[in-house]
């Protein structure tokens, strides 16, 4: 039996279609052909009930610096960081048809690299989860470089997806009428089908899929260390549920979220 709740949707015509050629989708469950272990970023859901942009208020006032300078606060704190900065600058997508500098392109590339359980991504996500401004302050220069890069890339003109194994607390958070929801910094898949298949292939028998509309997601395909298509979502967009579907037979909950533009915190 299926339960469905619907409400009106807004026009999404302002999105710009990606200009670069679409790569053929490979199985999102495959491992990257790299020396690093692969962790599919689309399964890392960090929705917030308070606006995460308030934690980094002022980061836009930072200068745009070389990648090495933006990550100086983490010298000796992130394993083998200097070597991976060099690798990111060597392997990143440059020259760029979107006019990214090498440092801007490398800022995206290194965010998607995995070389241990303590790579740059892990440290940055831990800082976001702490909800402590003092933990995020050292990241301001890197976030300015990262955001400058994203602003040059095309918007994804489609619903984008994250998914995870079923979690009752997440379900309550998504469907609560009393708690606000804000987007967090994270990666999304443009393919609901590929994401669901990946979760099923990895043994998840009960799944939550979250679709995001009108969140200014940026297509980073071709700029990452991964082989799959990827869309980056920036934090700070207030979200509302437009529809949800409970498919008991398939052990599946699908929640569609859409931005509330008037609630966007612009810093």
Q: Quote the CA–CA distance of 172 and 176 in Å, as a whole number.
A: 6
Please state the rounded mean pLDDT for residues 22-34: 35
**Three-class secondary structure of residue 24 per DSSP:** coil
Is the CATH code 3.90.176.10 the one for domain 2-6+40-263?
A: yes
The residue ranges of every structural domain in the chain are 2-6+40-263
Closest by Cα among 81, 104, 47 to 237: 47
**Three-class secondary structure of residue 202 per DSSP:** coil
Please state the rounded mean pLDDT for residues 142-170: 95
- Which pLDDT value is given to residue 69? 98
175-187 confidence digits (pLDDT tens): 988 889 999 999 9
Torsion of CA 213, 183, 16, 188, to 10 degrees: -80
Comparing 201 with 255, which gets the higher pLDDT?
A: 255
**Three-class secondary structure of residue 55 per DSSP:** helix
């Amino acid at each position: 039996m299926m339960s469905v709740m619907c409400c009106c949707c807004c026009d999404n015509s302002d999105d710009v279609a990606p200009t670069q050629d679409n790569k053929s989708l490979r199985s999102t469950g495959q491992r990257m052909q790299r020396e690093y272990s692969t962790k599919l970023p689309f399964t890392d859901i960090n929705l917030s009930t308070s606006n995460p942009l308030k934690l980094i208020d002022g980061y836009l006032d930072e200068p745009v610096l070389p990648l090495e300078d933006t990550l100086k606060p983490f010298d000796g704190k992130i394993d083998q960081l200097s070597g991976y900065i060099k690798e990111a600058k060597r392997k990143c997508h440059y020259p760029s048809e979107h006019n990214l500098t090498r440092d801007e392109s490398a800022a995206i590339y290194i965010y998607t690299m995995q070389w241990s359980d303590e790579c740059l991504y892990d440290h940055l996500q831990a800082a976001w989860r702490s909800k402590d401004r003092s933990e995020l302050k050292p990241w301001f220069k890197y976030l300015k470089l990262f955001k400058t890069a994203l602003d040059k890339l095309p918007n994804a003109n489609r619903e984008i997806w994250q998914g995870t194994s079923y979690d009752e607390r997440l379900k309550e958070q998504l469907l609560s009428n009393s708690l606000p929801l804000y987007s967090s910094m994270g990666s999304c898949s443009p393919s609901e089908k590929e994401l669901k298949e990946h979760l099923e292939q990895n043994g998840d028998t009960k799944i939550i899929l979250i679709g995001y509309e009108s969140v200014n997601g940026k297509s980073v395909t071709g700029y990452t260390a991964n082989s799959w298509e990827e869309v980056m979502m920036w934090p700070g967009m207030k979200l509302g549920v437009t529809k949800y579907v409970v498919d008991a037979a398939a052990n599946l909950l699908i929640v569609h979220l859409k931005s509330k533009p008037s609630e966007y915190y612009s810093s």
